[in-house]
Amino acid sequence: MKFVKLGSVLLIMSCITLLTACKKDDKPSPGQTNPPGETPDDTTPKVNLLTKVQYFKPLSDTAANPEKAPLYLDSLIYNEKKELVKIIEGSFSNPSRIDTFIYNDAGKLSTVLLGINNPEPTFSFNLQYINNRLDSIIIIEHVSMMGTGRNQLKVTYDTNDKVASVTSSFGSLHPSLLFIHTVKYTRESSGSVKSIALQLEYKEGGTNITRRTITPSTDVSPANASLNAMPEGYRLLMAQREDMTLCPMIGGQALFNFLSPDDKMFGNGTIRADYITNIESSEDFTYTSPAVFNTDNTIRTFQYIESGSRGVNEVYGIRFHYNKQ
C-alpha cells in the first residue's frame, strides 16, 4: 500500500510508474506467463502455487530489475496437502530466517512462528476460532526494544457475519508503555465497507490519541482476487510486516484483507488523520496499490507500505513467482 499527502500525488504517481515498469524484453509475450529465463508454466495447471516472493525498494537502483538484487526473498514450501508449512526468508543481513505454519485438525491455520532463530522466534501467533471463524490472535513479540511484548487481537462480527470491530492491546515489560488500538467498521446496507475508523491510545509520559478514518474506493482492484488466493499464512505474514504487532495505524490493508478477504480492501482510497495531544491537527492522504498482472491474471508486481519488522515506514515493491501443478 502507498499513501501520500494530497499535494504530492503527481510526484508519487511518477514514482509508481518507475516501480511497476518492467524492461521491454522482460514483459510476458502473448500466451507466456513467466518472464524470459524462467521455467514455462504447465499448459494444464491444476493449482497455481505461490513459490517465491521478492521484495525491493521501488525508488532504489534495483527497481528497474529486481531480479538482480532484491532486498530480501521469501521461498515458500508446501506439504502434500498444498498447505504452506514453511517460508525461508533470505536477506543481506539475515540469510536464513525461517517462518513455520501449523494447522489444526480442521485445516485452519492455528500457529505461526515468524523469524525462527536460536533460541526462539521473533514473533509467535496463536490463532483461536469459535464456530469456525477467527475469534482472536495472541501475538508474542520475543525480541523488542520494549522487552518481550504480548498483543491480543479480538475480532467481533455483525449479524451478517461480517467483521464489525477489532480490538488490540499491546503491553511490554515497561508498564509505562501500553497501546490500546480499536478498529470499527461502518458498512453499507449491501455489507460493503463504507469506512473504517481506527484509534490508537498509548501511554508514554501521558496519554496520547491518534485517529484515522479510512475510506476505500468503490472501485474494486483486480489485485484482490489474486492476493486472496494466496495462502492464508502468507497473507498474515504480509499483515505482520505492514503493521508490526497488527496495530494498523498506517492503513492496514494487508491486515484487513487477512481478517476479511471478502471486503476486497486492496486498492485505492483516502485516509483522514487526526492527532489529538496538546494540539489537535488533521491531515488528509490518498493511498494507492498499483499492480501489474501476468497473462493469466495472477498478480505479478505489487506495491505497499511496510513498517515495524524493518523498523521504519518504507514503500516496497513485491514481485510474485508461481509454479503451476
d(CA 88, CA 86): 7
278: left (phi over 0), alpha (psi -120 to 50) or beta: alpha
Q: How far is CA 158 from CA 17, 134, 181, 198, 202, in A?
A: 40, 13, 19, 18, 27
Residue type, 119: P
> For 98-105, which contacts have Cβ atoms below 8 Å and span 24 or more sequence positions?
99/233, 99/237, 101/231, 101/233, 104/129
- The Cβ of residue 320 has, within 10 Å, a number of other Cβ atoms equal to 21
More confident residue, 185 or 46: 185
Domain extent listing, the chain = 2-324
Q: What is the pLDDT of residue 269?
A: 84
Confidence of residue 160 (pLDDT cuts 50, 70, 90): very high
CATH number for 2-324: choose from 3.40.50.10490, 2.40.160.150, 2.40.50.100, 3.40.190.10: 2.40.160.150
127: its cell numbers: 490463532
Nearest CA among 251, 222, 230, 291 for reference residue 87:
230
Q: What is the pLDDT of residue 6?
A: 36
What single DSSP character describes residue 312? S
Choose the most confident range, by mean pLDDT, from 114-123, 208-217, 231-240, 246-255. Answer: 231-240
Cα torsion at 201, 207, 208, 211 (round to 10°)? 30
- The Cβ of residue 248 has, within 10 Å, a number of other Cβ atoms equal to 25
Confidence of residue 22 (pLDDT cuts 50, 70, 90): very low
pLDDT(40) > 80: no
Nearest CA among 206, 154, 160 for reference residue 184:
154
Residue 97 · residue 118 · CB < 8 Å: no
> How far does CA 290 lie from the centroid of its chain?
14
Produce one character per residue of 99-130: b if its CB has 16 or more CB atoms within 10 Å, e if not.
bbbebeeeeebbebbbbbeeeebbbbbebeee
pLDDT in tens, 5-21: 434 333 333 333 333 44
Residue 17 · residue 11 · CB < 8 Å: no
List the alpha helices (DSSP H) in 174-287.
Answer: 223-228, 232-243, 253-259
pLDDT(165) > 60: yes
pLDDT in tens, 275-303: 665 556 677 778 777 888 999 889 998 87
- Predicted TM-score (pTM) of the model is 0.76
- Percent of the chain exceeding pLDDT 70 equals 63
Q: What is the pLDDT of residue 75?
A: 93
Residue 2 · residue 305 · CB < 8 Å: yes
165: its cell numbers: 470491530
* Mean pLDDT, range 41-63, rounded to an integer: 66
Residue with cell 500457529: 111
pLDDT(273) > 50: yes
> How far does CA 114 lie from the centroid of its chain?
14
Residue 100 · residue 84 · CB < 8 Å: no
Choose the most confident range, by mean pLDDT, from 6-10, 14-18, 36-40, 154-158. Answer: 154-158
Write the CB contacts of 151 (distance below 8 Å, at least 6 apart in sequence).
138, 139, 140, 141, 168, 169, 170, 171, 245, 246, 247
* Mean pLDDT, range 135-149, rounded to an integer: 73
27: its cell numbers: 514483459
- Percent of the chain exceeding pLDDT 90 equals 27
pLDDT in tens, 178-205: 678 888 999 999 999 999 988 877 765 5
Q: What is the pLDDT of residue 30?
A: 42
More confident residue, 78 or 307: 78
Q: What is the pLDDT of residue 176?
A: 55
Q: What is the pLDDT of residue 41?
A: 46
> How far does CA 222 lie from the centroid of its chain?
17
Residue 2 · residue 315 · CB < 8 Å: yes
d(CA 203, CA 263): 32
Confidence of residue 29 (pLDDT cuts 50, 70, 90): very low
pLDDT in tens, 221-253: 888 999 999 999 999 988 888 765 566 655 567
